[in-house]
Structure 1
Amino acid sequence: MTAVLVFVGAMVGAPLRYLTDRTVQNRHDSLFPWGTFSVNLAGCLILGGLAGAGTALPAPLLALIGTGFCGALTTYSTFSYETVRLLEQKLYFYAAMNVIISVIAGLGAALIGYTVLHALVG
């Protein structure tokens, strides 16, 4: 049953990642990968919230949302690819900012999600 929940979550997360990435990136005339940054930030916020809720959430819901949905929504591989692509184009500032901003903002989003849900549920 858990595998089915992960699959269902991924069926929603993967297309949402693609559509969000394209929509956000098309709105920015920039070399910075705003679309990937956005989906990864959203995933960090959601996963942080799930961690903050802790044992208050049933395991099947964690599999559906955490593993399935967020696993398909977020993308470390695209983040890595886009960073390497920026480096290949000698856009060192954008590459460095992609790594620095993504890591700091992702940790911050996870902390906010964790803190808010932990306070609400805890």
Structure 2
Amino acid sequence: MTALLVALGGGLGSVLRYALGQRYDDRWHHGTLAANTVASLLLGACAGWALHGSALALVGTGFCGGLSTYSSLMVQSRDLGPARGAAYLVGTIALGLGAATLGFTLAG
């Protein structure tokens, strides 16, 4: 049952990530940035709510795992070149950490 919840959440998260990328990715990959930031915020909230079991499988592992995409982040960072790529990478990581902290704080 847990595997099905992870698959369901992952499917929903990855469809949303795809839609964000199609709609907002441009020279700075705003769709990927938004997907990673929202996933971090929600995962921080999951930690703040102390989700476990089926709820964590569906939302944390599944949805947030499907929504976030650090493999695309790395490829996009490389494609932007050394200076812009580094700025995009550092900015995404900083926003993700800030969003996770905010989610945890608001949920607590």
Q: TM-score, normalised by structure 1?
A: 0.84
Residue type of the alignment partner of 1:13: G
Of 80, 91, 97, the residue aligned with 1:86 is: 80
- Could you tell me how far apart the structure 2 residues matched to 1:33 and 1:93 are? 15
**1:116 alignment counterpart:** 106
Tell me the matched-pair count: 108
Which structure 2 residues correspond to residues 1-122 of structure 1 after superposition, within 5 A?
Answer: 1-25=1-25, 31-54=27-50, 57-87=51-81, 92-118=82-108
Deviations 1:44-98, CA, capped at 9 Å, x for gaps: 00000001111xx3410110000011101000100011011112xxxx3321211
Larger radius of gyration: 1
Question: Which consecutive residues of structure 2, in runs of 5 or more, have no partner in the other structure?
Answer: none
Give every structure 1 segment of 4 or more consecutive aligned residues whose post-TM-superposition deviation is greater than 3 Å: none
Identity %: 38
Give the SS at the match of 1:31: coil
Q: Could you tell me how far apart the structure 2 residues matched to 1:58 and 1:106 are?
A: 22
TM-score, normalising length from structure 2?
A: 0.94
Unaligned runs of 5+ in 1: none
Do the aligned partners of 1:53 and 1:117 also contact (CA within 8 Å) in 2?
Answer: yes
- The residue identity in structure 1 corresponding to 2:22 is R
